[in-house]
Amino acid sequence: MSGTETGYNYAYLDEQTKRMLRRVILKAVAIPGYQVPFGNREMPMPHGWGTGGIQVTASIIGPDDVLKVIDQGADDTTNAVSIRSFFAKTAGVATTTRTEEATIVQTRHRIPEKPLKEGQILVYQVPIPEPLRWLEPRETETRKMHALSEYGIMHVRLYEDIATHGRIATSYDYPVQVNERYIMRPSPIPKFDNPKMDMNPALQLFGAGREKRIYAVPPYTKVKSLDFDDHPFEVQRWDESCALCGATDSFLDEIVTSDRGDRMFVCSDSDYCGDRQAARRKEAAE
């Protein structure tokens, strides 16, 4: 099958590479939370800008798919626009900003506020996949620690937080345990989004291009955020509500509106906020 951009294959990658990636993804799905190494390809975007997620998406996308791409929760951030147009160009797929219409959602740093459904796939862009990395820099050692479930050191870090700050001071990329086995980094999503990963009906795929790892959380898989019995995991809360749609249950971005430090808070998920605003307008008109 030829793509719409002359000179390149459908969805950019050659079919052999896609087969390799699909095999890796299948393995990742079979071992939830386990980081499967793969032969990363240079993509026409820089590493750190979503090359892992893009390779995952490229290997699973088909002509009937509908793609949504978000960065920081929004569809109109520059990098999301750039990735979306890449797939529109190389795979000729339909794109959408509406979460419920998408078959594949590629994301950087957020999980959509609207609940995902069975059959949808959420593809995360991952900068650093290894949850043990800051505690142990050697790959040879971290792989062994995963193999042997030697995870005590993760709690040492949480212990230190509580001892120093009276609370667990990790606010994003908060480590989780998948299917009661592997410790996993959820990518730098806010911990606000962590509970959405647990028992989610959608398939969650994680791609780290520069670090050459793919991992997965299959549908309806247990995902537990690490904590202590007497210091349970909790998510961010805001006193404010969204200035545009009034939501009190969404992750809010802080917008500085003047040089005197005036601020307002709005939903980071532009699709969710837009729907709520439309509903409000409709209500007001009635």
Catalytic residue among 39, 48, 273, 274: 273
Site for another protein in 225-244 (CB under 8 A): 227-231, 236, 238, 243-244
Cβ-contact 97, 134 below 8 angstroms = no
- Binding residue for another protein (CB under 8 A) from 165, 259, 285, 286? 165
Cα distances from 131 to residues 25, 34, 37, 152, 226, in angstroms, run 19, 11, 15, 13, 12
According to the binding rule CB under 8 A, does residue 95 interact with another protein?
no
Decide whether 64 or 134 has the Cβ nearer to another protein. Answer: 134
271 closest CA partner among 245, 239, 248:
245
Site for another protein in 37-76 (CB under 8 A): 37-44, 46-49, 51, 71-74, 76
Residues in a beta bridge with 12: 9
Decide whether 51 or 268 has the Cβ nearer to Zn ion. Answer: 268
- Decide which of another protein, Zn ion, none touches 166; Cβ closer than 5 to 8 Å per partner kind: another protein
- Give the β-pairing of 121-125 and 66-71: unpaired
Q: State the angle between helix axes of 78-91 and 51-60 in degrees (0 to 180), rounded to the nearest 10.
A: 30
What is residue 11's three-state secondary structure? coil
- Decide which of another protein, Zn ion, none touches 216; Cβ closer than 5 to 8 Å per partner kind: none
**How far is the C-alpha of 52 from the C-alpha of 58, rounded, in Å?**
10
Cβ-contact 263, 256 below 8 angstroms = yes
- Decide which of another protein, Zn ion, none touches 267; Cβ closer than 5 to 8 Å per partner kind: Zn ion
Enumerate the H helices of 92-181 as residue ranges.
139-147, 152-165
- Helix then strand then coil, in percent of the chain rounded to 5, is 30, 20, 50
Decide whether 165 or 286 has the Cβ nearer to another protein. Answer: 165
The CB-of-54 to another protein minimum distance in angstroms stands at: 12
- Decide which of Zn ion, another protein, none touches 179; Cβ closer than 5 to 8 Å per partner kind: none
The CB-of-212 to another protein minimum distance in angstroms stands at: 4
269 closest CA partner among 251, 283, 249:
251
Catalytic residue among 33, 50, 73, 207: 33
**How far is the C-alpha of 34 from the C-alpha of 55, rounded, in Å?**
18
As to burial, measured by CB atoms within 10 angstroms (0-12 exposed, 13-18 middle, 19+ buried), residue 5 is middle
Binding mask 123-162 for another protein (x = CB under 8 A): ----x---------xxxx---x--xx-xxxx-xx--xx-x
Site for Zn ion in 219-278 (CB under 5 A): 242, 244-245, 247, 267, 273
Site for another protein in 166-225 (CB under 8 A): 166-167, 169, 171-173, 188-192, 210, 212-213
Decide whether 58 or 245 has the Cβ nearer to Zn ion. Answer: 245
Catalytic residue among 207, 245, 261, 274: 245
What's the start-to-end Cα distance of the chain, in Å? 50
Is 267 known to be catalytic?
yes
Is 242 known to be catalytic?
yes
Binding site for Zn ion (CB under 5 A): 242, 244-245, 247, 267, 273
The catalytic residues are 33, 242, 245, 267, 273
